[in-house]
């Protein structure tokens, strides 16, 4: 039977996410690249005590409109902040857990100050590599980032080529929620622009990787030379409704080179 | 007595950009560093790298022209450019950690006389965002810090020892402030350039560690 990883709805795609699960959430923290519809579906689904892993833990819609004052944040946009606001998060693992300004306090930061959630702050490159290590079957690696700072605390160290390294473990996750531009039914993916970011890094790093895309095309339509994420990393595909694509669509004609 | 004039953010960025050499791969942090992109002389070809996965991207986009799928690490919408490449986050930090970035410019809260950098955690907030600063501070071949010389209430930001959480120890090569240009050398902090109208003694008075005044100390060039 022909392989087809496309599932009918966002709700169906996230229905087996369980209380206490560890979830990778793709994107960088800016409005592009966030698996918005999957996050929205997970907030409807209601799984609790989640550990969420990403560059940010999300700041929520309200704050994003303030931070990203130079652009209009789309109606359909969500980040992990939606899960924090909905009290579904127990712990965050992130490089950028709070906004740059102390005056802009996200739902997660409020809960952190109240002692209701935990945070593990990880240097951004170390975070990316710990996720990649999980995908690549590496248990841990020695990393030169962190010695002489609080990142070193409690970690094994080793001097390699005269430089101190800290031992960093792979981040094992149950689910990965990512965003890509186009998929074929097998799960091959291409991204657009800088929305590749953590999405491509996280593809295949969790036990189950779920991707939200603008469009599913026939097998063979994606140029094999341009596929950034090969099919075997992807378990489920869900297609965004039109409203989530309109903004992107108008750009396509002049920005074809952003398809990667 | 009225406070003497200090260098503007634009002049500081202009001064930093004089360090950019033709063909360099440069990563610019958020804030004043981002402004540097406006100033290298046009005969130099600089490849700008951004942590979120692009090399050799174009100038900042207008909101009408911008594309949500093309941003820099500060979240600003940028444009495409011939010769641009795009990549994943793990690849981007392989570039950084692997020593493929020639020069990085970051802002700072504090810098020590040994070149220790503190730029991510305000103690009174209790939580901060490391971001990619640690990786860049260690991974880039050369690190320039650009910042105001003193805090808002006039306290030195260049200290014997940082009392904020460190981003990385002994990583800063050069400090450009609104008062001076200082090299972090083996023998200590070398005062190379002064803002117009300022004396070495005045700058020393706003700096905690002892400054070694270079024998050829000169005025910072104004745009």
Q: Are B89 and A128 in contact (CB under 8 A)?
A: yes
For residues B76 and B204, the model is more confident at B204
Residue B2 belongs to some domain of the structure: no
- Whether B63 sits inside 8 A of A151 (CB atoms) is no
pLDDT of B89 > 50? The answer is: yes
- Whether A125 sits inside 8 A of B68 (CB atoms) is no
Total tally of structural domains belonging to chain B: 1
Mean pLDDT score of chain B: 95
- Whether B71 sits inside 8 A of A30 (CB atoms) is yes
pLDDT of A99 > 70? The answer is: yes
- Looking at the DSSP bridge assignments, the partners of residue B182 are B175, B191
Q: Catalytic pick from B3, B10, B19, B51?
A: B51
How far is B223 from B220, CA to CA, in rounded Å?
Answer: 10
> Domain residues of chain A, as ranges?
10-259
Closest in A122, A131, A194 to B54, CB measured: A194
pLDDT of A242 > 90? The answer is: no
Closest C-alpha to B176, from B194, B198, B196 = B194
**Sheet strands side by side (includes B110-112):** B117-118, B110-112, B158-159
For chain A, the distance separating the N- and C-terminal CA atoms, rounded to the nearest angstrom, is 30
Q: Which of A134-138, B6-10, B73-77, B137-141 has the lowest mean pLDDT?
A: B73-77
pLDDT given at position A135: 98
Mean pLDDT score of chain A: 93
**Sheet strands side by side (includes B85-86):** B85-86, B54-55, B47-50, B25-28, B103-106, B142-147, B174-177, B180-185, B188-194, B211-219
pLDDT, average across residues A104-119: 96
pLDDT given at position A254: 47
Closest in A30, A112, A257 to B75, CB measured: A30
Q: Which of A29, A145, A165 to mutate to test the interface with B (most CBs of B within 10 A)?
A: A145
Q: What is the DSSP letter of A106?
A: -
Six-digit token string for A214: 């603008």
pLDDT of A100 > 80? The answer is: yes
Question: Quick one: pLDDT band at residue B104, thresholds 50, 70, 90?
Answer: very high
pLDDT of A70 > 70? The answer is: no
Residue B1 belongs to some domain of the structure: no
- Whether B52 sits inside 8 A of A97 (CB atoms) is no
Residue B3 belongs to some domain of the structure: no
pLDDT given at position B7: 98
> In this structure, what CATH number is given to the domain that contains residue B170?
3.40.1080.10
Q: What is the DSSP letter of B120?
A: S
Residue numbers of the domain that contains B78: 9-219
pLDDT, average across residues A102-119: 95
Is B51 catalytic? The answer is yes
Placement of tokens 């339509």 in the chain: A221
Q: Which of B129, B139, B164 to mutate to test the interface with A (most CBs of A within 10 A)?
A: B129
pLDDT of A57 > 50? The answer is: yes
pLDDT given at position A258: 62
Question: Quick one: pLDDT band at residue B62, thresholds 50, 70, 90?
Answer: confident
CATH architecture of A10-259: 3-Layer(aba) Sandwich (3.40)
Rounded to the nearest angstrom, the minimum Cα separation between B214 and chain A is 30
Q: Is B99 helix (H, G, I), strand (E, B) or coil?
A: coil
How far is B8 from B223, CA to CA, in rounded Å?
Answer: 10
């Amino acid at each position: 039977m022909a392989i087809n990883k496309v599932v009918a709805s966002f709700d169906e795609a996230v229905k087996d996410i369980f209380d206490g699960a560890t979830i990778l959430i793709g994107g960088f923290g800016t409005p592009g690249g966030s698996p918005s519809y999957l996050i929205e579906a997970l907030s409807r689904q209601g799984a609790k005590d989640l550990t969420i892993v990403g560059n940010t833990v999300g700041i929520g819609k309200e704050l994003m409109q303030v931070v990203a004052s130079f652009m209009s944040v789309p109606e359909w946009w969500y980040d992990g902040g939606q899960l924090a606001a909905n009290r579904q998060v127990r712990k965050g693992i992130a490089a950028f857990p709070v906004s740059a300004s102390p005056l802009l306090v996200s739902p997660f930061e409020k809960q952190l100050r109240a002692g209701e959630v935990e945070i593990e702050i990880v240097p951004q490159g170390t975070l990316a590599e710990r996720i990649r290590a999980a995908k690549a079957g590496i248990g841990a690696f020695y990393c030169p980032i962190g010695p002489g700072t609080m990142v070193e605390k409690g970690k094994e160290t080793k001097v390699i080529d005269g430089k101190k390294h800290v031992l960093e473990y792979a981040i094992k996750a149950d689910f990965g929620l990512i965003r890509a531009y186009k998929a074929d039914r097998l799960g091959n993916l291409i991204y657009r622009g800088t929305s590749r970011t953590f999405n491509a890094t996280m593809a295949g790093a969790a036990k189950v990787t779920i991707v939200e895309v603008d469009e599913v095309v026939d097998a063979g339509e994606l140029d094999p030379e341009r596929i950034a994420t090969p099919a075997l990393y992807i378990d489920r595909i869900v297609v965004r409704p039109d409203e989530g694509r309109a903004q992107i669509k108008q750009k396509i004609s002049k920005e074809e080179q952003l398809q990667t | 007595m009225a406070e003497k004039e200090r260098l503007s953010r634009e002049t500081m960025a202009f001064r930093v950009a004089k360090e950019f050499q033709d063909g360099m791969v440069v990563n610019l942090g958020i804030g004043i560093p981002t402004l540097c992109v406006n100033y290298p002389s046009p005969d130099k070809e600089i490849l700008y790298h951004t942590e979120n996965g692009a090399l050799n991207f174009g100038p900042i986009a207008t909101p009408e022209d911008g594309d949500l799928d093309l941003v820099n690490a500060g979240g600003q919408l940028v444009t495409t450019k011939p010769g641009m490449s795009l990549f994943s986050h793990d690849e981007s930090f392989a570039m950084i950690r692997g020593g493929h970035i020639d020069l990085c410019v970051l802002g700072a809260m504090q810098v020590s006389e040994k070149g220790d950098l503190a730029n991510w955690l305000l103690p009174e907030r209790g939580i901060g965002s490391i971001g990619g600063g640690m990786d860049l501070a260690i991974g880039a071949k050369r690190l320039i810090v650009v910042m105001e010389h003193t805090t808002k209430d006039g306290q030195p930001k260049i200290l014997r020892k940082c009392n904020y959480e460190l981003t990385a120890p002994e990583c800063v090569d050069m400090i450009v402030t609104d008062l001076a240009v200082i090299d972090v050398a083996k023998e200590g902090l070398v005062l190379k350039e002064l803002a117009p109208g300022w004396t070495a003694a005045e700058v020393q008075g706003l700096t905690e560690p002892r400054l070694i005044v270079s024998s050829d100390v000169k005025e910072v060039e104004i745009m």
